[in-house]
A and B are shown apart, each in its own frame.
Chain A
């Protein structure tokens, strides 16, 4: 039912676009100037998983279906979204069938066929290719073409939520003819193809200057004859977020700038210049504080934060975990560091609405120092002469690490101050993002190693289905020396009841039941204190008032509807 509604919504939206296109014509609005303060390195998102590359390439190459600004699937190169109801997804959930729109052409004029889709899958799963989007094709057994307009995907096991391969900006379809000789280890050598992929999107790469500027022109073979309105796009890269914001909001040199990671008060001043505005979209990003369930005492050496180190001497106490969350005033953190780009949250799955729980909002969203103090008092943690609580010689004093970033360091200070009010001490530390998130097993400063008591960062999931994400907190995903510190269960949370529930989720197909299960899992993590969710983070971009049609999207590429953008008259 839900999917039917979704389809209807898509159709209505498509009709609305068609209506507005009546008085627009392709290439009549001149040059669209976009600024990415992190420069784009390649136009092939399979060779670089970076957000900037995925977004930039989304103007050129397209997936079969994508998410709209509400997080609903809309068909791009296919006639409809396959569901169990319309027969597109097999009843046993083992396969799905996509019907390609008739008449879709590549920008070089050749027809787009199911062969290209099959090739894309083969390209990404080829050994030695190092395909950055391999996770999108996980569980795909085969991709076949019963006829040139039909793509059939078969899965290795039932897939209750099958929309991953060829869905969203992360897994666009590339042209077989162009990439045929670039499979596997040969992929990086095909520089001209990687810099100028032939696509079905509204624009074509004219010139690509790596790590600098991309010039694109309107695709003459684009399936909608009236679009895109802009004749060319210039996507400039480099610099920093604040000066990018200035170039759009104050000097008006650019039409659109991505990712405004700038302090809210500075942005507010720039917006006051009256040349542009900010757009915020909330996806699934949550800034959280992970609480280490294993002992991270440095005296344990290489054993710390592993199973051998044993449970954490104080954080294994549920009362302490609850008190640490109660002591935090999330609204102050949002106000100081995020402004319109953040909302206080107690969920690790904050969106889409269907799976966002409100169960713990009552106790968790508001700071309650009295309750936190009482919890600790009752649990026997007594304040010492230095104001720090202790029990049996174990002090509530924590090493608190995160990545280097001015907002994160400010948040650390705020949290430290809030915790000091309940007799909890914190020693602050930060490591460069490329080290912290780098995952080098030899480095002691990575977030996977978690050589700290608590650590803070943001994570999210692609698309709208949280199943894979919630499976990150399974017992067997705990990082440790045995798996080269590669697990995703960073807090080292382990609860057999949770594991069982995740197993149930993976077997459930009905959307309503899935949502209920996802909420249950999310609540379990918050209630048991696997982590402390802090801020639901939105993505903020700015655009000039002279640009119309921007629909900020946190579920897909921000440039997902660039074909509909036009010059405001």
Chain B
């Protein structure tokens, strides 16, 4: 198992390098321009100077190598310096700078990460917590009323896009009933009970929207996997032995059914980091998804490049984790 993991990790290095190059090339080929959003009153000569000051007058390969150096050498050194207090060189390394804010991209990401983890991560957690019991009961009582309603709801949750449910909830609960705020207050500091309630209130709508979406997806997997197992011979054996129905279901069947579900959940973790772009935008949660969409709109190439690349790293990593987990959970699977 260990050598397998090591091999996979080594393989990941060229994969990621290729991915970074593809992202960089794609972004470079895109006809977006960082000065495209500026008022037309800014004359073309000035725009040319702005582009030059962003380094856009350099050749493509030079810019790519420069980014590699900034991302793989300068930024890690910087993080190390900050963590340990050691000093490498004169400390005057060029960091990856966002074009729109002219501030280090990594700082922006660090600032955004907590909100995304809280809102999107919590929604993922809730989604799983709702999905597993519903999936189990749906499968156990296949074609019952509960199953029908569950299937219907998960189909609705799966097919109705979040930009619709999000706005719908805002119209009902913020505009009409005025129970929850429609704008996420990112300056809120939780230090007493009332601010805690405030935080819960402002997280309620985005978390609901995303939980619904996540739960619908995972429920389908749990149900299908449970159904697969319920008709297996070992279940019949267990029942014939006189094992209590509760144990049959929750110990024998559920455990085995969760193996593929765990993989699916692990594969979905990177999407937490990439944030729910649309939902974050609707509720103005200052997470990574919103950061990405603003960067794309403003042609802030270094920020898009870095964010996309970090997502790529997470996807590669969690694919590996899912594979390893699968091997650990299911003794029949061995990689070596």
Contact = CB atoms under 8 A, between A and B. Distances in A.
Interface stretch (B140-148, B229-237, B283-291, B318-326): B283-291
Point out which of A240, A254, A437 has the most chain B C-beta atoms below 10 A from its C-beta. A437
Interface string A433-449: 11111111011011010
A433 B36 contact: yes
Contacts of A50: 37-39
A130 B286 contact: no
Given A239-B281, A434-B298, A135 B182 contact: no
A185 B53 contact: yes
B104 interface: yes
B81 interface: no
Nearest to B102: A188
Contact of A438 (B31, B49, B102, B175): B31
Contacts of A41: 98, 100-101, 298
Interface string B162-203: 000001001000110010011101110000000000000000
A462 B175 contact: no
Contacts, number: 177
Given A128-B53, A251-B174, A435-B32, A238 B299 contact: no
Interface stretch (B16-24, B40-48, B126-134, B260-268): B40-48
Point out which of A185, A440, A484, A487 has the most chain B C-beta atoms below 10 A from its C-beta. A440
Contacts of B104: 191
Chain A interface residue number, banded: 35 or more
| Secondary structure call for the A interface | loop
A210 B40 contact: no
Interface residues of B, number: 54
Interface in B99-129: 100-104, 107-108, 111
A132 B50 CA distance: 7
A438 B40 CA distance: 10
A488 B298 CA distance: 22
B286 A209 contact: yes
Nearest to B54: A130
B164 to A, nearest CB: 14
Contact of A134 (B46, B98, B103): B46
A476 interface: no
Nearest to B52: A130
A434 B186 contact: no
B48 A486 contact: yes
Contact of B39 (A51, A128, A238): A51
Contact of A49 (B39, B111, B175): B39
Nearest to A437: B36
Nearest to A234: B187
B302 to A, nearest CB: 11
Point out which of A133, A134, A188, A445 has the most chain B C-beta atoms below 10 A from its C-beta. A188
A39 interface: yes
Interface of A: 35, 39, 41-42, 44, 47-51, 128-135, 185, 187-188, 191, 194-195, 207, 209-213, 215, 234, 236-240, 243, 246-247, 250-251, 253-254, 432-440, 442-443, 445-446, 448, 457-462, 484, 486-488
Given A41-B101, A49-B46, A239-B183, 4 more contacts: A187-B102, A434-B298, A437-B40, A439-B44
8 contacts: A49-B38, A49-B46, A194-B102, A211-B100, A434-B37, A438-B31, A462-B41, A486-B44
